[in-house]
Amino acid sequence: MHSLIAFLAISALSGPSFAKPIPAPEVTTRKGFTINQSVPKPFQAGPVVLQRAYRKYNRAVPEDVTRAAQDGTVSATPEQFDSEYLSPVTIGGQTVNLDFDTGSADL
């Protein structure tokens, strides 16, 4: 029994000494790739683009598209202690006070 244990021990210890490293692959030149960046197009609102498409194909622009494509401005009125800035906006004939919150505490 001792001879079997001795044989296994010698086999286990001599295994790493017979190990051979894997040869490295041949060094070749690496081929690269290129990424071409382009400047993104400026944002255009959907109704404005739709209005332009109607006009391009000599079609009558629907009234709701014309109204939606108009550029509008609204004033922001500060509330007490500048806690919020409310802007009256008319949507579908109803005026709603909107709070355009930027998420910044430093307004």
- How far is C-alpha 86 from the chain's CA centre? 30
The reported pLDDT for the residue numbered 74 is 74
Query: In terms of residue numbers, what domain contains 51?
Result: 46-99
Task: Please check whether residue 36 lies inside any domain of the structure.
Answer: no
pLDDT in tens, 5-21: 877 777 777 666 666 77
Task: Please check whether residue 69 lies inside any domain of the structure.
Answer: yes
The reported pLDDT for the residue numbered 60 is 94
Which pTM does this prediction carry? 0.38
Task: Please check whether residue 56 lies inside any domain of the structure.
Answer: yes
Task: Please check whether residue 80 lies inside any domain of the structure.
Answer: yes
Task: Please check whether residue 1 lies inside any domain of the structure.
Answer: no
The reported pLDDT for the residue numbered 59 is 94
Q: How many domains does the chain have?
A: 1
Task: Please check whether residue 16 lies inside any domain of the structure.
Answer: no
pLDDT in tens, 39-90: 877 888 888 899 999 999 999 999 988 888 887 677 788 888 777 888 888 8
